[in-house]
Structures are given as C-alpha cells and as structure tokens.
Amino acid sequence: MENDILIGQLESLLFVLTKPVAFKQLAKLIGITEAETHTAIESLAESRNSSTSGLHLIVDNNLVQLVTNPDYADLIAKATNVDLDTELSRPSLETLTIVAYRGPLTKPEIEAIRGVNCSLILRNLQLRGLVDEHDDVVKMQPVYRLSTDALRFFGLHSINELPDYQTLHVNAKIDQLLANLSVSSP
C-alpha cells in the first residue's frame, strides 16, 4: 500500500476514534502488519508534531492518539469552556510524579515511595483523567500509570519526553525499596 495513502487512512481513523488506539487494532482495521503501522505512525508523528500543526500524535505504551496541539490549550479551553487552570495539591503532584516516572505501580508501591496513604489522591487523579488504573496479572492487583490525557495536558508526545525520565525511571534506591516491599508482602 502506498505510504501516503496509509498515513491518510491512519490519520482518519485516529481522528474518528478520538481515544487511544492500539497499534494492533489499527493494523487489523487497515489490513496491514503491526510493523507497517509503527512505521506509518512514525511518519505521521513527524509531520504532525510540529509547533505549526493544529494536531499532534501521542504514542504511549503501544497506544496512539490524535490530539490538539498543546500550544493551543488556552484557545481550546476558551472554545470548549474547560477550565485548565485548576491546580493540583502538593501531595497530588508528588503522587502524579511518582506514577509518571515509575509507573506502572501498585498502590502499596506508591505509598512505600511517598510514605503515606494515597487512596484519596489516586482516586482524585483518576477523576481528573491524569492517571489510569489497569489490572496486572503478575502483581495480582491494580497498577497505576500516567494517562494519555495527562501526556496531552503536559504537552508531551511520549512519557520519554519527561525531564530526566530515563534516569528517574530506573533508580537504584527506589528499585531496592520496591524489591524489599515485594519480599515482605505475603
């Protein structure tokens, strides 16, 4: 299939679907391989993720979503009457930062890092659409990770764009803390 046509098809699907979509699902809808989908999405992201484009692509955890350019957030908020200026509390920001840099994490893991109960904070972050909860068959409990909406809110195309992400995502002290937590759990 010609690359321009494929890119156009993917862009159309992402525009209509409005939610994060798995590469596998896009490949199936168009009738191409997942590898071809990845290549075409990379090309689409190169053309869309510029300061002059009204639309951007967010790629996160094998999901892709077409969103508005974060530079135009004020304009979009004005047009849709959405208040983007509501501030998060310091504990909410701390929890969100832990989830962003270390996620996916269970609630006990987040609480071990923060040192306090995070139930209410996690619920509020979920209500704001900043954190997603997913079942984890290995850990046998829900895990929390930064949502695609949070990436869009922060103007990121990927979680790897967070400042010092690679350094903080793999931190020896936190790894040891979490290892000790899993050993002491029944």
The alpha carbon of 149 is separated from its chain's Cα centroid by a whole number of angstroms, namely 7
Q: What is the pLDDT of residues 150-170, one digit of tens each?
A: 888 888 888 888 998 888 888
The CATH fold assigned to 90-184 is Arc Repressor Mutant, subunit A (1.10.10)
Q: Is pLDDT of 84 > 70?
A: no
Listing DSSP states for 84-131 in one string gives --PPPPHHHHHHHHHHHHH-SEEHHHHHHHHSS--HHHHHHHHHTTSE
Residues 6+ apart with CB under 8 A from 107: 118, 119, 122, 141, 142, 144
Task: Assess whether the region 3-78 and the region 90-184 belong to the same CATH fold.
Answer: yes
Mutual orientation of helices 107-114 and 172-184 as an angle, nearest 10°? 120
| CA-based nearest residue to 182, from 101, 114, 108, 104 | 108
CA distance 99 to 33: 32
Q: What is the pLDDT of residues 27-40, one digit of tens each?
A: 999 999 999 999 99
CA distance 22 to 20: 7
Q: What is the pTM of this model?
A: 0.61
E strands within the chain?
21-22, 55-60, 63-68, 105-106, 131-136, 141-146
Residues 6+ apart with CB under 8 A from 173: none
| CA-based nearest residue to 25, from 64, 79, 82, 68 | 64
CATH 3.40.50.10140 fits 3-78, yes or no: no
C-alpha distances (whole Å) from 124 to each of 59, 95, 135, 171 are 24, 11, 19, 27
Q: What is the pLDDT of residues 98-143, one digit of tens each?
A: 999 998 999 999 998 998 888 889 988 988 889 988 888 887 889 9
Q: Using the 8-state DSSP alphabet, how is residue 161 labeled?
A: G
Ranges of each domain in the chain: 3-78, 90-184
How high is the mean pLDDT of the chain? 85
